[in-house]
């Protein structure tokens, strides 16, 4: 597939335009996704078919116990009903086009093609048990799936492969949930069996700009009649959509909020997370603090470490000034190398010193290992590779613009130059949520 190019030579996601996921997908396949049906819809459809009410439970068990990818696999249902179900609904909305294994089998990255051709990614990560016997010390085996909430992303962080793709569309609830079912199916079929223990919204897209569907998906995941995963085991990561954080705080779900910080000074964060031009650090941290206060849950701050850009002692001190005393924890992530970024990851020694300075300054921090570098596991990288190569002058322009803006930011100037992406669309989409 060739990548369409916007006026400035920037790449856009290889999906149809329009933000309404149902309309863009319905043009291709009008059947709604089965896993994302609102409460009561399946029951009403089954009643229309003259079916007994226990059929709904059989369908749900097939979706969430057996991870069925087609109605034909739902062996507890009579054959004519299976055919009618397949004709009325899409049982699997996220066919995996490719699964790449990395880290000696500990990381599996799936590239999904949706009904309208949009590409999104999910990553299944295995964490073996640590410390021998469990419970009473040590750590249980964990299986975490990292899922996407949008095809592409409008925020345009310059170190992120998804950001470079631009915005495609919001995912439907079933498209979000079926990524989880896909991972669960692979896990159950694997040699060790096993069940998913954690779901993290850290794949492609900004979950709080598709919050209604993300909340529907979380409700289904945590419902014991569906998947039954405690909301405590779900992480939603945001680049700082303040109205979305405030809405979450009001709802008080028991999920973990992660905030992508990446810089603790506004001029630099304006460049690294362009949404900062709309909602500044002080506003984002105040909203996250409110979330921690009302839920009693610690907020995670993600910090991608970029050599010579955001990894100095002054940066560590700025984080301490911002977060000291908060119910918060910082995850330091050495930047994954992605195409078209002029930067390098901070060296391991620098990352360790940075973590130590945070600890000395009263802020808890953990260094996270990058997963799946050999599988192109930086967020959006597989989809970006599929989208085709940009012409060299466009790459050069992009890199020059990123460097010009970050150098100005390091001098303390707030950038007046447009970010190398589509922030106005993001801001419009984010307002009122
Ligand atoms: N849009 C949301 C959630 C998806 S991104 C957000 O930004 O929070 C999930 C995480 O992956 C974010 O913390 C993001 O900053 C990080 N990420 C993106 N590109 C990366 C890269 N090249 N190296 C390391 N982490 C990256
Ligand atoms: Fe979007 Fe998150 Fe990537 Fe930024 S890091 S461009 S917010 S997906």
- Atom of ligand 1 at shortest range from CA of 333: 24
- Atom of ligand 1 at shortest range from CA of 334: 24
Task: Round to whole Å and give the CA distance between 110 and 105.
Answer: 13
Task: Round to whole Å and give the CA distance between 313 and 223.
Answer: 45
Q: Are 177 and 234 in contact (CB under 8 A)?
A: no
The percentage of the chain sitting over the pLDDT mark of 90, rounded to a whole number, equals 67
The candidate with the shortest Cα–Cα distance to 113, out of 138, 95, 88, 131, is 95
Q: What mean pLDDT do residues 392-420 have?
A: 80
Asked if 153 is an active-site residue, the reply is: no
Task: Round to whole Å and give the CA distance between 350 and 334.
Answer: 10
Task: Round to whole Å and give the CA distance between 176 and 150.
Answer: 9
Which tops the pLDDT comparison, 316 or 427?
316
Task: Round to whole Å and give the CA distance between 57 and 21.
Answer: 27
Q: Is 118 left (phi over 0), alpha (psi -120 to 50) or beta?
A: beta
Which tops the pLDDT comparison, 391 or 154?
154
pLDDT beyond 50 at 5: no
Q: What mean pLDDT do residues 91-111 have?
A: 91
Going from the Cα of 92 to the center of ligand 1, the distance in angstroms, rounded, reads 27
Which tops the pLDDT comparison, 398 or 147?
147
Ligand 2 pocket residue status of 158, Cβ below 6 Å: no
For the ranges 91-95, 134-138, 366-370, the one whose mean pLDDT is highest: 91-95
CATH topology of domain 93-428: TIM Barrel (3.20.20)
Asked if 141 is an active-site residue, the reply is: no
Query: Domain-by-domain residue ranges, the chain?
Result: 33-88, 93-428
- Tell me whether the CATH fold assigned to 33-88 matches the one assigned to 93-428: no
CATH 1.10.150 fits 33-88, yes or no: yes
Task: Round to whole Å and give the CA distance between 275 and 269.
Answer: 9
Residue nearest to atom 19 of ligand 1 (CA): 160
DSSP E strand stretches across 306-342: 328-334
Residue nearest to atom 12 of ligand 1 (CA): 260
* pLDDT on residue 349: 97
Q: Which two tokens stand for residue 327?
A: 């119910």
Q: Are 195 and 143 in contact (CB under 8 A)?
A: yes
Ligand 1 pocket residue status of 148, Cβ below 6 Å: no
Q: Is 84 helix (H, G, I), strand (E, B) or coil?
A: helix
User: How sure is the predictor about 374, in pLDDT bands with cuts at 50, 70 and 90?
Assistant: low
Q: How far is CA 269 from CA 23, 175, 310, 408, in A?
A: 35, 31, 9, 12
Cα–chain center distance at 233: 15
Ligand nearest to the CA of 210: 1
| Burial of 392 from C-beta contacts in 10 A (0-12 / 13-18 / 19+) | exposed
- Mean pLDDT for all residues in the chain: 87
């Amino acid at each position: 597939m060739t990548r369409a190019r916007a006026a400035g030579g920037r790449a856009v996601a290889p999906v149809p335009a329009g933000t309404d996921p149902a309309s863009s997908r319905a043009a291709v396949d009008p059947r709604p996704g089965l896993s994302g049906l609102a409460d009561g819809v399946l029951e009403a459809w089954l009643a229309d078919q003259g079916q007994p009410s226990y059929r709904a439970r059989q369908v749900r068990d097939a979706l969430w116990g057996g991870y069925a990818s087609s109605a034909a696999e739902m062996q507890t249902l009579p054959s004519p009903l299976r055919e009618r179900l397949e004709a009325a609904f899409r049982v699997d909305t996220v066919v995996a086009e490719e699964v790449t294994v990395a880290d000696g089998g500990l990381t599996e990255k799936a590239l999904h093609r949706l009904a309208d051709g949009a590409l999104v990614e999910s990553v299944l990560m295995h964490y073996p048990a640590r410390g021998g016997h469990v419970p009473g010390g040590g750590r249980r085996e964990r299986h975490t799936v990292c899922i996407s909430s949008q095809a592409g992303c409008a925020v345009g962080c310059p170190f992120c492969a998804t950001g470079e793709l631009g915005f495609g569309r919001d995912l439907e609830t079933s498209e979000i949930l079926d990524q989880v079912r896909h991972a669960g199916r692979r896990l159950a079929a694997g040699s060790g069996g096993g069940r998913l223990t954690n779901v993290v919204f850290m794949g492609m897209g900004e979950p709080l700009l598709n919050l209604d569907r993300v909340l529907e998906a979380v409700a289904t995941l945590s419902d014991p009649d569906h998947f039954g995963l405690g909301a405590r085991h779900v992480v939603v990561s945001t680049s700082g959509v303040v109205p979305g954080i405030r809405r979450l705080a009001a709802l008080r779900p028991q999920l973990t909020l992660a905030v992508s910080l990446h810089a603790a000074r506004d001029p630099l964060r304006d460049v690294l997370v362009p949404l900062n031009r709309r909602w500044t650090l002080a506003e984002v941290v105040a909203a996250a603090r409110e979330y921690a206060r009302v839920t009693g849950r610690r907020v995670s701050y993600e910090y991608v470490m970029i050599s010579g850009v955001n990894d100095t002692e002054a940066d560590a001190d700025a984080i301490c000034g911002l977060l000291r005393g908060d119910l918060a924890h910082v995850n330091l992530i050495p930047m994954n190398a992605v195409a078209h970024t002029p930067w390098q990851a901070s060296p391991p020694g620098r990352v360790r010193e940075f973590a130590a300075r945070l600890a000395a300054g009263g802020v808890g921090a953990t260094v996270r290992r990058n997963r799946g570098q050999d599988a192109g596991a930086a967020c959006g990288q597989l989809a970006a590779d599929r989208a085709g190569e940009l012409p060299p002058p466009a790459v050069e322009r992009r890199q020059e613009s990123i460097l010009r803006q970050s150098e100005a930011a390091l001098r303390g100037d707030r950038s007046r130059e447009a970010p190398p992406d589509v922030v106005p669309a993001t801001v419009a989409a984010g307002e009122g949520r």
